[in-house]
Amino acid sequence: MKKIQTLLPDTFYRFHNPISNRITPMVLVLIMAIAAALPTAAGSAEKKAAEGSISFQTLQTKLINDKNADFTAEQINRIYQNPGVSIDIKGVSSYFRHQESKLNYDQFLSSKSIQKATDYMRKHHADLLKAEMDYGVDKEAITAIMLVETRLGTYVGNSPVINILSTMAALEDKTVRDRFWEKIPTKNRVTREAYEKKAAQKAKWAYKELIAFLTYVENEKMEPHNINGSYAGAMGIAQFMPSNIIILAEDGNKDGSINLFHHEDAIASIANYLRHYGWKPGISREEAGKVVYHYNHSSYYVEIVLNIIDKLKT
């Protein structure tokens, strides 16, 4: 109690009852509130200490001054002053460490997975059929993409998209890049030369995606710090990168907004994406593979998606 009392102003003692030498209920509530806040403050301090002197200040200035981005200082400051927006050391560090591939797309060919996909098609039959008619894309193809990308919307990622993209974009600044290098765990860390090369590439790419992301959330009046996605910044059930949302995402349920965490919008958006890259009714397996490759530049991924489509059609 003595330590907590030292944090309070002199006016605190006006609430004290000198006759009974006991604290009034009002003061007790104040004490409990302050005590509850102390761990939070400590946690915040620990987080800042871990981030060191790395900040988004240079990035914020660039966004404000970028005439092509068309953001106001008020918008950018409001977004980056939110406590939920911070440097993502752990997530972005993974880009600069040697890791063995752990991809196992074959799991989606199991009878259990195919049954879940079949159940999904039954549940969302109306939306899938509408997308098939409107975009000329097989409902099985849409479902197959969803199955592999997010297990039919049950796992959409847990990384704050704004933190991932902002951290990568901030690496354009040499000071940030140097300090971030020191934060990367040394075990399996790439060489400094490889880091510099990849950081430059990722920073340029991430900046464009960040602009698209901020444009999207501002247009849709969403809170950016509340949107989670993949470690690369892909979002929603469809796992679209922000730049693709701007160009290819669709308002499937016609509610006036695009939200890829809603199945109707995700279904329509995947259909529009595949159509954009050449999917059409009666498409051959070979041509279908070329279209799916645009979704994920992996031959392994493409083959699994095509095999899922075959199983769903039988």
Q: What is the residue-averaged pLDDT of the chain?
A: 87
Which of 19-23, 62-66, 189-193 has the least mean pLDDT?
19-23
Q: What is the pLDDT of residue 100?
A: 65
- How far apart CA 312 and CA 314 sit, in angstroms, is 6
Quote the Cα angle for 271-273-275, to 5°. 70
- How far apart CA 281 and CA 59 sit, in angstroms, is 45
- How far apart CA 21 and CA 246 sit, in angstroms, is 65
Q: 184-202 burial, b if ≥16 CB within 10 A, otherwise e?
A: beeeeebeeeebbeebeeb
Q: What percent of the chain has pLDDT over 70?
A: 83
Amino acid at 178: D
Per-residue pLDDT reduced to its tens digit, 131-144: 999 999 999 999 99
Amino acid at 154: T
What is the token pair recorded at 78? 């409001």
| 57-65 helix and 192-219 helix, angle to the nearest 10 degrees | 50
**DSSP category for residue 242:** H
Beta bridge partners of 16: 23
Per-residue pLDDT reduced to its tens digit, 82-116: 999 999 999 999 999 987 667 899 999 999 999 99
Q: What is the mean pLDDT of residues 38-66?
A: 68
- How far apart CA 268 and CA 261 sit, in angstroms, is 12
Per-residue pLDDT reduced to its tens digit, 228-254: 999 999 999 999 999 999 999 999 999
User: Can you give the pTM of this predicted structure?
Assistant: 0.82
Taking the CB of residue 207, how many other CB atoms lie within 10 A of it? 22
